Amino acid sequence: MKIKWYGHAAFKITTESGVTVIIDPYQSGAFGGALSYGKISEPADIVLSSHDHDDHNYRDDIKGTYKYFNKEGNYNEMGIKIEAIPCYHDPAKGKERGNNLIFVIEADGLRLAHMGDLGHTLSDDLIKKMGKIDVILVPVGGFYTIDADEAGKVVKDLNPRITIPMHFKTPKCEFPIGGVELFTSGKKRVTVVNEHEIEVTKDGLPEDGEIIVMKYAL
């Protein structure tokens, strides 16, 4: 499985068989230019959106014909199992920013969770429903989502082998959110890679949990 980070909360997953899944595509230049990552103009077989905000559901630039999922449910497409699990964009059960979906994607013997704009820590029921997670893509910037400390608790509760932080402040994101260093500071087994795409295999998973900070592609 290849994992490509476009920027913000947008990723592309490519399976060993070549199936591509784009998750939470943003609108380049959204919010008056505060989000200035480049356009996501690659083709996809499947597109997933955790919620209907312009920085997570913009599909106009994506090429080709694809299946689109943005609702709670279980899906099986092109050999990939996807579970869309409902949660909230805020700690007030959606009263402040609405609903959110967590996507658990199963492919190539791996279980990957994209947490969307998760706005709260996880209940015991949600942890149980998500099950074993090998790779987690988790927001860490705070303000609109969980912050660095809350993300740390989410990671501890799910105990993935690989954690990839997302939705944090960069030169191309002027949102009033924190930088990734607030999440990684003081943690062991942090790897910063100068790459926007990594490959993960079941046999190659680290024995102990590792944080991988990626470079945005666009």
**Domain range summary for the chain, segments of one domain joined by +:** 2-213
Are residues 102 and 116 in contact, defined by beta-carbon separation less than 8 angstroms? yes
Structure confidence at residue 142 (pLDDT): 97
Beta bridge partners of 137: 114, 164
Structure confidence at residue 42 (pLDDT): 97
- Low-confidence residues of the chain, pLDDT below 70? none
Structure confidence at residue 99 (pLDDT): 96
Phi, psi of 214 (to 5 degrees): -95, 165
Predicted structure pTM score: 0.97
Strands 46-48 and 20-23: parallel
DSSP state of 47: E
Read off the pLDDT of residues 41-76 as tens digits, 9 standing for 90 and up: 999 999 999 999 889 999 999 999 999 999 999 999
Classify 75 as helix, strand or coil. strand
User: Is 17 exposed, middle or buried (CB count within 10 Å of its CB: 0-12, 13-18, 19+)?
Assistant: exposed
- The Cα 149–Cα 121 span in angstroms is 10
For 2-213, which CATH class?
alpha beta
Compute, in degrees rounded to 10, the torsion defined by CA atoms 80, 86, 90, 92: -170
- The Cα 157–Cα 28 span in angstroms is 33
> Which of 172, 174, 156 is CA-nearest to residue 217?
172
Structure confidence at residue 203 (pLDDT): 97
Classify 72 as helix, strand or coil. coil
User: Is the sign of the CA dihedral 91, 97, 153, 202 positive or negative?
Assistant: positive
Q: CA 52 from chain center: how many Å? A: 15
Structure confidence at residue 54 (pLDDT): 86
